[in-house]
Structure formats: structure tokens, C-alpha cells
Amino acid sequence: MLSYIAHRMLQLIPVLVGISVLTFLMLHLIPGDPVLLFAGDKPLTEARAAVIRHQLGLDRPLWVQYGDYAGHAVRGDLGRGLRSQRPVLDSILEVLPGTAKLTLTALALAAAAGITLGILAALAHGTWLDTAVMTLAILGISMPVFYSSLLMILLFSFRLGWLPATGQGGWERLVMPATALALISTSVLARLVRSGMLGVLRQEYIVTARAKGLAGRVVVLRHALKNALIPTITMLGLQLGALLGGAVVTETIFSRPGIGRLAVDAILARDLPLVQGTVLVAAVTYVLVNLLVDVAYAAVDPRIRFG
Amino acid sequence: MATRGHEDDASITETLGTALRSWRLDRRELLVLAGSWIGAAGLAAAGLAGGSPRPAEASPTPGGTLVYGLGFDLDDTMDPQVTNFDSTIRVTLNICEPLVWEPTPGRFVPGLADSWEVSPDAKTYTFRLKKGVKFHDGTPFTAEAVKFTMDRVVEPATKAGQSHDQLGPYDHTQIVDDYTVKIVMKEGYAPLLTNLNGYLGIVSPTAVKKMGLADFSRHPVGTGPFIFKEWVAKDHITIVRNPDYNWGSSFFKHRGPAYLDQVVFKIITEGSVRTGTLKSGETQYIDDLDPLEFSALKRDPRFVVIQQGQPGSGFVLLLNVTSKGPAGDLAVRQALEYGVDREGLNRSAFIGLNKAAWSPLMRPTFAYDPATEKVYSFNPARAKQILDEAGWKVGTGGIREKDGRKLTLDFPIISRPRDRAMAESVQASAREVGVDINVTPLERAAFRDVVRQKRFDINFMWFSYGDPDVLRTLFHSANVDAFNRGQYKVPEVDKMLEQAAAMTNKNARASLYAKIQQRVLKDAVTVPLVDTITYNAKRAEVQGETLDALASYVWLYDVTIKK
């Protein structure tokens, strides 16, 4: 197992190299000059732009720029944001905890609610409860995050005055954005767990388990759910990616700092070092989450072993 | 369960009851199960959420906290000489004070300077500075600080932003004595006074040297009534009262420390949310109010809406006179002057709250020429006549043609809702007189590229500014790569613009600018549309704030929050 994990971690290297090259190329292929974008609505004159471009080293050939970046990056220096001149790593680390909190809370809520609802729907299969849960799930999946966010703000902040609408810090500022983010994942997980459970509950080993006289709870949790969990674990991993993406919208609506907003603002400003930094962080997260998911398989399904 | 098919239409209680009962939970197991679920959910939310600092909330003590909802984020730096965003100055003006304040266009009152003189050729500005003023780091404010602030703008290492353009043809600063300083320009530059009012706020030389540029940009130090406390990027900036402050300008209602304990600038870019926070009390002052919310808030006695026109150049179209296409034809441009329905645009893009504009200068600007209101009028018939006489005959689809060429104009815009609404209105009026305008919404970076390559016939422009010298920015041949999007190069106009910038005699300046306004309209390089008006809003208990001459910065020194 350990060698498997080590092997997977080594795979991180080609992934990071590939992604950084792709990002670098993409940002240079699309129209837009970061220096001209410095000044908001009032751009700089060409002469001043040329001076600034030279100061930032943006007038060097592309391969020189990339080589310089990569050389520093392997030593842990991700460069400085073009506009702020702050180390990219500092800017990212400043906002990462906020997004992590939001995303992990949303994931936990989605997992708890989604799996519970899925089990309930499966156990109550064919009744109105099943239909109700599935309808709610469809509503949850169809509502865009910004819509549900705005609705929640309207109701809980402005109409009822229960929760603050903006900012971060304290659970009362976390509950709405996390719930808004979690809605879609909850719905997806509920449907997945339900169909997984239904499939599994039909299996013959369930009949055997009951015939053996095992308690219903044991049957459901240990035998049925465990088998339904494999696709669910994959989905949880994928949902983390979706949540990181959805966090951009949520962060904007709720005026929370976060890596999503940082990345989007950096792209719009063509702030290459900052974009590279956020993309690399996202890539590392994905690879690690994937690894976690695969390791979790082994824990859940004894048939799966890594040679 | 396996024996019970889903074809059986069982009641919910039966089904669920059977399922749950078959678990055969006893009370203890039930409690454990319930407890673990609640615990898990609780951990997920509370455990992860705890430990972050909360932004300050309004306190009941006298003074209190003002929460200001900023509609635009800062641009990664709080150094007034480096930033490019007005929103940053909105915050830093409370920390780094200017030499003079400008409460209404053209009227200047003492700031860090008690009095001043401008030489008639607008080249030398002499300031007599206030005595007994200290920076937040304890160092004294003297002429040295003024020299340091101006010098750093032109020093390449600073990478100055808007301040660089605003300082103009700066030559050097001469320290006459500790409290007298002369700012000397390379050539006459009348707009300097109005430009001192924001991006040229005075900073502490000691602090800049000690902290270095990167740290100073995250912790500005000035002489203002408020001291910088903290900046959580993309979230909020907190400034607190400066207890040692007692050099308030004679313009303000008091001299000593500010009334407010602190101000929290919250960054809330989403317009509807920002207005909502004002209504719920989460903020007490917001800027960039959506015109749609205007009437509702105006009627509500709990709120006050602040509406103020800006000086400078309002929303105008700049027409590329060097275009190889139809825009190069004077007749086509004049037809647009008569054909564009400004009131219609006002209604569709600003729900009627704005004002039609007939000059590239807005009314609050010094040297605005009212005679420009008679040069053109909304007259589609006249527009059609001009085009007919110039040989542009109506062809297929109602679009005019001449020598086999269609009358099509390219109009790239940044893909924002207001830009789109205005562009579509212009497009519609143009269609009525047979002109086809091709509106292309682009993302900002792509738009800049198109503009840089001069691939357009029409471009939007608006440039709020405290001095009619903004006309030089828009129409002087030296600026064809910057804001002179119309590519206008007329030597007589260049000369008039240069002369007017280099003199202080108001009457002489006014007469030159009147000629310039008339000329650019006659040449139809610009089609003025509507003014730019600032809409802010506040809760009624907030009193004493001043919106400056540029209708951009809010001075919070006199602010109190009534209980």
C-alpha cells in the first residue's frame, strides 16, 4: 500500500509540469496584455506600459519567461503577483483556509444529508417519501448556486435578519454559503446512494443476511451501505472538485475572500504568476483527493488490493 | 425487504416503521445513534468554522463604527501613489491627507497646506504648510514629506499608477524652509490643484523607507484622522480614530479627532447584496447604488440617497475619424449627432435618472459652454437628409449604401450590462436613420487588444476629472494611443489645449475651452450622450459626511451616527 501511495505521489510531478506549461501557453494565446489591464478603467499610455513591461520581465521571449518561472517554482518560489508584487504563495495561503473551510463544510453537509436522504429514500422506496426526496433532489440539482445563494440572503439576512449576508468569520457567516454550495452535491449524492442501495438491497446476500437473523441496522449499514458506497466515494471525490469551482460564485455573492475569486480575478487581469499558482494548487488538490478516494476504496472493498 | 416488491403500494409509516423496527434499536442505541449524527453535523459546521477573527460590529458607545459597503474592490495595493483604483483612494484619503481639499468643482480649501499661490503661467505652486502636524508613526510633517511624495511618483521603482498621470509635467519640488515648499512643473499645468485631492495624498517618508514598498502598500501611513488597522484581502479594511489628530481643515466642522471610533470598509461587489445590507443594517453607507433601487430608497425615510453629477467628461461616443470605413466621412458622423436619441438612451439604460449631454464636458465642470446645447439636437429627419446629400442611399434591409459599400460601423464594447444597454440604444437610433452599427461585446482584456490595434469605428469614453484639461486627454494628438480614441489630430486644437492648460486666468481659459468644445462638436469626433452621476445611499442616522467635487470620494471626518 505504501509503495502504491509513493508511486502515485511521484505521478504528481508530470501532472504539475504539464499543467504549468498548458496554463502558461493558454494565458499567452488568449488576447489581453496584463500591463494594459493594470489600471482599471483608465489604461496606461504605451510608453509607460513599455517601461512597466520591462520592469516585470514581460518583454522577454516566452521560453525564457517559462524557464525562469519553472526554475524558481521547483525551489518553492512561485513568483510575485504582477499587480501586488506580493509573493504568490502568500496571496494563496491567505485565502486558502477560507475556501477550505467553506468547501469542506459543504462537503460534510452534503455527505451527511445526501447519504441519509439516499438511505431513507431507498428504505421508503415506492412511497411518497421516496418521491418527495427525489423531487427535492431534482430541484437541488437544477438550481444554480447564485440563485439559491441570493434567495437565502434575501430570506435569512434581509427579511428575517437572522444571519449576516457578507464576510467571513464565525459559524453564522459560514452556514448560508456552505448550505448553498452543498445543495447540488446533496442532491447528487442522495440519488446515487438511493439507486446504489436499491440495487444492493435486491442482492441475494442481503436475503442471506436477514435469514441469518442479523439485525436490520446491521444489514443496512454494514452490508448494504458499504457496498453502495464505492460509487459514492468516487462521487464525493468528484464533488469536491465541483465544490471548489462552485465556491467562486458563492464567494462572490457572499463577499467572502477565497481561492476561487483570487483565481478568477487573476485570470481577468492576466496576472500570470498568480494564475499559475492557483492552478497548481488546484491540481495538487485534485491529485491528492483522487489518491484519497482510491485508498478509501481499499478500506471499503476488500476485493480491491493494490499490487 | 427483499421479499416485498416496490409494486406493493404500502403506506409510508408501515414501510418506514418496518424498516426502522427491524433495526430493533433499543433506547440506548437510539440515543447513541442520534447523538453521533448530531455530533458529526455539529463538528462539521462548528468545529471547522471556529477561530476566525470577526470584523467589528457597531458598538453602542459614543462615536461608534461606520460600516461602509464598497462596490469595488481595491487593486492589490493601498499605496495612494501606486494604486489605479478610485475605490482604493476612497479608503486611503482618510489615512493620507492631501495638501488641499476640493469640496465643489473649482473651490479649494486648506488641507495640509494653510495657503498657496499659483504663478500665472501655472508652472510654480507655492504651499505654506500647517505646523504641528504628525504622521501616524510619530514623525513630524514638514516640506520634506511633500517633496518625498511628489518625487516618488516619478521614480521608476515606485511603479506609480494614476498618480503619475495626475502629477503631469512634474519637474521638481523645492524646499524653501520646513513649512514652505514649491512644486515646479516643466510646463504650465493648471489641473495640479484638483489632482492633489486623491492619488497625491501625503505619505510618511520614514514609513516608506523603513517598511519598503511591498509592506507599505499593505499598511499606509499618513497624517489623516484615521489610522490603518487591518486589511483582509477581498473582505474588509478597518481604520481607527487617530487620537492625536487636531489639525482639521477649516472647511470641516471641527478640528480635533474624528467622531467615529472606527470605519470598516466591507467589499461587497454584488450590487443587490450591497443594497440589501444597507436595508438590513449590516452596512450604513454604500456607494455605486443601482439606479433601479434609487426610487424605492428615496421614498423610504430610513434612508437617504445621495445623487451628485461629476465634473469632467461624461458618457460620450468617440468616432474614429481616421477609419477607412464610413466613420471617416464627416456626413456620417454628423448624422449620428442628429440621429442618436439621448433621451431614449437615458430611459433604457438609466431609467430616466440621467441627463442628456450635448458637450464633451459635463455641466459641473469649470468652462462648460452652455452654447454647445444648441449645436445639435435630436433630429432624425435632418440626419437622413445629411446622409442622402452625401450620397448614402437607403439600400436593402434599410441600410444605406454608397459606391457598393454598406454603411456599417464597428463598435466594440466591454461586456458589462450598462455598456450593452447604452450600445444597444445607440444601435437602435442609428438603425432608424439607416446606419448599421455592429456592436461586439468583449471581455475586458480582449477589448483592450482591439482598441490598441485601432480596430473600431466607435468607442465609449467617460473620464470624470476636476478640470477641463480632460479635453486634452481626449482630443490632443499626443494621446492617440491612449484616450484620444477618435484619433483626432488638429494642430489648432492641439495649440488651444496646450495654451489653456498652461494658464491660470479663468476667463482666458474659459474662452479657449469654449472654442475647443465647439470645434470638436463641429468636426463630430465626439457624440455626447449622457452625464455620469454618482449614486450613493446611507441610513438616515449617518450624518456629516461630504461627497467631494469629483463625486467620488466620501470624507468621513465629520461623520456621526445618531442614536
The pLDDT tens digits for B451-490 are 989 999 999 999 999 999 999 999 999 989 889 999 999 9
What is the C-alpha to C-alpha distance for residues A122 and A127, in angstroms, rounded to an integer? Answer: 10
Measured between alpha carbons, how far is B217 from B74 in angstroms, rounded to an integer?
Answer: 11
Which residue from B374, B341, B386, B333 is spatially nearest to B518, judged by alpha carbons?
B374
Q: What angle do CA B369, B370, B375 make, to 5 degrees?
A: 95
Contacts of A158 in chain B (CB under 8 A): 276, 279-280
**Nearest partner of B207 among B225, B217, B228, B221, judged by Cα:** B221
How many Å apart are CA A260 and CA B380, to the nearest integer?
49
Within 8 A of A220 by CB-CB distance, chain B residues are: 19, 23
CA distance B217 to B82: 8
Q: Which residue in chain B is spatially nearest to A221 when comparing CA positions?
A: B23
Three-state secondary-structure class, residue A256: coil
Distance between CA B108 and CA B151 in Å, rounded? 23
B residues 203..242 contacting A (CB < 8 A): 213-214, 217-218, 232-236
Read off φ and ψ for residue B562, nearest 5 degrees: -70, 145
DSSP secondary structure string for all residues of B208-233? HHHHHHHHHTTS---SSSEEEEEEET
Q: Which residue has the cell 443594497?
A: B275
SS3 B39: helix
Segment B533-549 mean pLDDT: 94
Give the count of beta carbons closer than 10 Å to the beta carbon of residue A234.
Answer: 16
What is the C-alpha to C-alpha distance for residues A96 and B423, in angstroms, rounded to an integer?
40
- Cβ distance of B443 and A32 shorter than 8 Å: yes
Touching B: A residues 166-205, CB under 8 Å: 166-171, 174-175, 178, 201-202
The x, y and z cell numbers of residue B561, run together, are: 451616527
Q: What percent of chain B has pLDDT over 90?
A: 76
**Cell numbers given for B342:** 439621448
CB contact under 8 A, B235 and A168: yes
Nearest to A186 by CA among A110, A108, A118: A110
Decide: A96 and A282 in contact? Cβ < 8 Å: no
Instruction: Determine contact: B9 vs chain A, CB below 8 A.
Output: yes
CA distance B338 to B381: 8
Q: Answer yes or no: are the C-beta atoms of A32 and A270 closer than 8 Å.
A: yes
Distance CA B461, CA B459 (A): 6
- CA A92 – CA A245 distance, rounded (Å): 16
Q: Give the contacts of B74 (CB within 8 A, at least 6 positions apart).
A: B83, B85, B87, B88, B91, B231, B237, B267
Question: Which of B75, B165, B216, B234 should one mutate to test binding to chain A, selecting the residue with the greatest count of A CBs within 10 A?
Answer: B234
Task: Give the helix/strand (H/E) hosting A97.
Answer: helix A88-123
Choose from A53, A90, A166 for mutation: most chain B CBs within 10 A.
A166
CB–CB contact B234 A124 (8 Å): no
Considering only the beta carbons, identify the residue of A120, A127, A171 that sits closest to B10: A127
Tens-digit pLDDT profile for residues B49-84: 443 444 444 433 368 999 999 999 898 899 999 998
pTM of the model: 0.83
Strands B262-267 and B65-70: parallel
* Contacts A–B by Cβ distance under 8 A: 213
ipTM: 0.79
Q: List CB contacts of B190: < 8 A, sequence separation 6 or more.
A: B122, B467, B469, B500, B501, B502, B503, B504, B509
pLDDT tens digits, chain A, 307 residues: what are they?
Answer: 788 888 888 888 888 889 889 988 888 888 777 777 766 555 566 777 788 788 788 888 888 888 888 888 888 888 888 777 788 999 899 888 888 899 999 999 999 999 999 988 988 888 999 999 999 999 998 999 889 999 999 999 888 888 988 888 888 899 999 999 899 899 999 999 998 888 888 887 777 877 887 777 777 777 777 777 778 888 888 888 778 777 888 888 898 888 888 888 888 888 888 998 998 888 888 888 888 888 887 777 777 766 4
Crossing angle of helices A128-142/A171-201, nearest 10°?
130
Please report the DSSP string for A182-219 in residue order: HHHHHHHHHHHHHHHHHHHHTSHHHHHHHHTT--HHHI
3-state helix, strand, coil split of chain A in percent (to 5) is 75, 0, 25
Written as nine digits, the cell of B219 is: 499598511
Nearest to A124 among B15, B48, B76 (CB): B15
- State percent of chain A over pLDDT 70: 96
Contact residues on chain A for B54, CB-CB shorter than 8 A: 169-170
Residue in B closest to A216 by C-alpha: B23
Contact A31 B446 (CB under 8 A): yes
Give the H/E segment covering residue B256. none
The C-alpha cell of A93 is what? 495561503
* Partner residue facing A157 (CB), from B270, B280, B483: B280
Q: Which three cell numbers stand for residue B214?
A: 511591498
Rounded to whole angstroms, how far apart are CA atoms B44 and B263? 33
Nearest to B280 among A48, A104, A158 (CB): A158
User: B85 touching A, CB under 8 A?
Assistant: yes
**By three-state DSSP, how is residue B82 classified?**
coil
Interface test with B, best of A127, A206, A223 (most B CBs within 10 A): A127
Q: Which residues of B touch A105 (CB under 8 A)?
A: 44-45, 48-49
B30 pLDDT band, cuts 50/70/90, is low
Interface of A with B in 221-280 (CB under 8 A): 252-258, 261-262, 265, 268-270
